[in-house]
Amino acid sequence: MKPRIGYLGLGLMGGAMTRHLVSKGYEVTGFDPVAEKRDAAHKNGVRVVMHARDVVPEADFILLNLPTTEAVLDAVFGNEGIAASLSARQILIDFSTIKVDAARAAAERLLAEAGCGWIDAPVSGGPPAAGSGTLTVMAGGREGDLERVRTLMADIAARFTPMGPSGAGLVAKMINQLIVGCTHAVLAEAAVLADSAGIDAALIPECLAGGHADGSLLQRLYPRMVAGEFAPQGYLRQLLKDLEMVHAFAGSSQCSAPMTAEALSLYRLAARLGFSELDTSAVVKIYER
């Protein structure tokens, strides 16, 4: 029998992942504070409940996909949090991208209070990969807990890599977001430069395919920039939040990260110009000003 899943957060990522899990035969109970997201999940076969704690009782694994560190901590330890309902037979898997130190402290607290393991399992690939079971998952946690979730991860991810103890997955995600955020900024400048130089900017991915500049972001994200397609596959505000965390984490590690700082400045400007709810590719819009 497949493990039973409790799920908190049914937005872009959680909605896609729960739909995929249901299609793979999992019994999924989900909660989101937004009625429209609950309704969409219900249509996709998720058993929707009206309180976060109601996902816990029958679940083997409780999965979180929430936007901020504060949202994760409130969902687990807040007044309506699930911590009091968890037990040692369960494992909490957090797919959110949150602060490394906060995740480590939360994992220690949950283990002490409920005997429940906590795996930080941030992802890369966005909603399309979440909906097709082809995510890249980097994970941190206790060795036994990581082994217990391997079968589930095989249905969620094309690549699942245990990186070490609690927080290690999030450190890997910081590095992922450093690369992604800086590449977004570079692609935006490339699109603007191509257009300013009078060549067809849309031909650049085909032109550079197979060369050193090629990659999934050039082939998938760059065309959205050129076409002005900014319907969110991932919110700009979320990448901004992640870059803020990368910048702070680099500082706390006494590591220079000037490229991250530059990309962060561009995303702060994009948010200030009102693009927070658009796709991450909308950073290119700052050049219109």
Q: Which domain CATH number covers 133?
A: 3.40.50.720
pLDDT of residue 1: 86
Q: How wide is the angle at C-alpha 224 spanned by C-alphas 189 and 97, nearest 5°?
A: 85
> Could you read off the pLDDT tens digit of each residue along the chain, which spans 289 residues?
899 999 999 999 999 999 999 999 999 999 999 999 999 999 999 999 999 999 999 999 999 999 999 999 999 999 999 999 999 999 999 999 999 999 999 999 999 999 999 999 999 999 999 999 999 999 999 999 999 999 999 999 999 999 999 999 999 999 999 999 999 999 999 999 999 999 999 999 999 999 999 999 999 999 999 999 999 998 999 999 999 999 999 999 999 999 999 999 999 999 999 999 999 999 999 988 6
User: Which of residues 112, 142, 164 is at a domain's end?
Assistant: 164
Residues 157 and 175 in one domain: no
Residues 109 and 198 in one domain: no
Sequence-ordered list of residues with C-beta below 8 angstroms from that of 118, at least 6 positions apart, any chain: 91, 92, 94, 103, 106, 107, 110, 111, 141, 145, 166
Residues 256 and 274 in one domain: yes
Residues 245 and 108 in one domain: no
pLDDT of residue 288: 81
Using only the alpha carbons of the chain, give its radius of gyration: 19
Q: How wide is the angle at C-alpha 285 spanned by C-alphas 223 and 231, nearest 5°?
A: 60
Taking residue 151's Cβ as centre, other Cβ atoms within 10 Å add up to 10
Residues 116 and 14 in one domain: yes
Q: CATH number for the domain including 200?
A: 1.10.1040.10
Residues 16 and 33 in one domain: yes
pLDDT of residue 84: 95
Q: pTM of this prediction? A: 0.92
Q: How wide is the angle at C-alpha 133 spanned by C-alphas 131 and 135, nearest 5°?
A: 95
Residues 179 and 133 in one domain: no
Q: Which domain, by its residues, includes 230?
A: 171-288
